[in-house]
Structure 1
Amino acid sequence: MVKFLLTPRDMEFYNLFEQDTSNLVAAAEMLVDLFDNYENVEAKASQLKDLEHKGDTITHDIIQRLHRTFVTPIDREDITLLAHSLDDVMDLIEAAGRTACLYRIAQPTERARQLARIVARVTHKLNEAMPCLRRHDQFPRIIKQCVEINTLENEADDVDHAALAELFEVCHLDACEVIKWREIYDHLESATDRGEDVANVLEGIVLKHA
């Protein structure tokens, strides 16, 4: 018999988390498009801001619902941590696009494009994992996605290190350009770090409820 984590009246927590990861995917894909097709940058950055606002609303709804709910489907601290960890990923995705727009960079580097694509892959993994929280028999799929997210985070570290090395090897870049790109790279790589944080929370929930 399939064992469920919660009664139907509590399902809204899972609905909200799934909305959140779906919104993350939309933002990450928008960021990939911003870097791959570097035109209408201000409009794309504005769309990223709108998606961030949507994410903030979802986070607020989760926390407000938590205050109103006596019996929660998973530990209260895990709900809070999961909501804020997802929000951190969104903030960094938006920051990467906003910074590129604000600094008026001429063209994205190939390393920036690579990092944006890794961020998008992480969000897709989170989006695939989140619905599996509803059913114990789907927990192994969560672990699988978490392992793959860890691999992606390591890949992002490697790309980030290579990007910084190349940045200092390009002799024609002035100090301002170096500072701009270091900040953009930091936002992108940090987004994968925070994505791994979400994966760690999910894995912890699985271990508690397995």
Structure 2
Amino acid sequence: MIFRKLLPREGNFFELFNEHGARIVEGARAFTAMVENYADIEERERHASAVIHAERQADKVTAEVNRLLHKTFITPIDREQIHSLINAMDDILDLLQDSSETMSLYDVQAMTPEVVRLTHLSVKCCERVVHAVSLLNQLSKHDAAEAAIKTCEEIDQLESDADRVMRAAMSKLFREQEDVRELIKLKAIYEQLESISDRCEDVANLIEGIVLENS
């Protein structure tokens, strides 16, 4: 018993989840601003740099969570859940950065309404992810657990909306786009943007599991 009391306990995992969540929202909003100001090259590059900065800061948080996992004997939730959750959250920002870089590498000249719509759905998904994550340290409260589940359901709905927008965008693209190079570029971008909501749904599924096991 004395030995157990001396073991490293808990750490600040929930604080780190929230910190990473803040970087997700920061990156998502910067990405949205980049898309909305795409015609302004200076503004585009400024916001693209902000996405990269958010992703790098989030990587530091992920590394800290993994470091703490090795040092902490008793964790507030299952160790595998902590590891899976922080890495799933990191995947969201990786995709935001990848999408930003793809637009630059492919030399996309203008944003389509479908890109804008998918971007807005992506940032909504990211904001709901962060809200769900912020409730994890309150799961002993019934209201917080219910709110987390409800938020996860909202993320699932947003993912379904993004999937529908992507399918419609693909249909329009193959019917109307005559330039094969532009078709290939936009197809790749549509798929990446829809994948952001998929990764948000992955996080939501993990959170639902945590809530069910710990509330």
Q: Distance in 2 between matches of 1:99 and 1:42?
A: 13
Which has the bigger relative contact order, CA under 8 A and spacing at least 6?
1
Unmatched segments (≥5 aa) in structure 2? 1-8
**1:155 matched to which residue of 2?**
161
Deviation digits for residues 99-146 of structure 1, max 9, x if unmatched?
A: 112222111011011111111001111111112111121111100100
- Please state if 1:57 is matched with 2:81: no
Residue 11 of structure 1: how far off its partner (Å): 5.3
Q: Distance in 2 between matches of 1:93 and 1:11?
A: 29
**From 68, 73, 77, the counterpart of 1:70:** 73
Residue 44 of structure 1: how far off its partner (Å): 2.0
Q: Distance in 1 between matches of 2:122 and 2:177?
A: 29
**Identity within the alignment, %:** 36
Q: TM-score, normalised by structure 2?
A: 0.90
Deviation digits for residues 80-114 of structure 1, max 9, x if unmatched?
A: 10011001111111111111122221110110111
SS in 2 for 1:106: coil
Q: Distance in 1 between matches of 2:87 and 2:134?
A: 18
Residue 163 of structure 1: how far off its partner (Å): 0.8
Q: Distance in 1 between matches of 2:30 and 2:208?
A: 28
Residue 152 of structure 1: how far off its partner (Å): 0.1
Q: TM-score, normalised by structure 1?
A: 0.92
- Please state if 1:133 is matched with 2:139: no
Larger radius of gyration between Structure 1 and Structure 2: 2
The RMSD of aligned alpha carbons is 1.2
Deviation digits for residues 11-42 of structure 1, max 9, x if unmatched?
A: 51000000111110111111111111112222
Q: Distance in 2 between matches of 1:42 and 1:201?
A: 34
List 4+ stretches of structure 1 deviating above 3 A. none
Q: How many residues align structurally?
A: 201
Unmatched segments (≥5 aa) in structure 1? 1-8
Give yes or no for contact 1:100–1:184 (8 Å, CA) kept in 2: yes
Give yes or no for contact 1:27–1:51 (8 Å, CA) kept in 2: yes
Amino acid at match of 1:83: I
SS in 2 for 1:208: helix
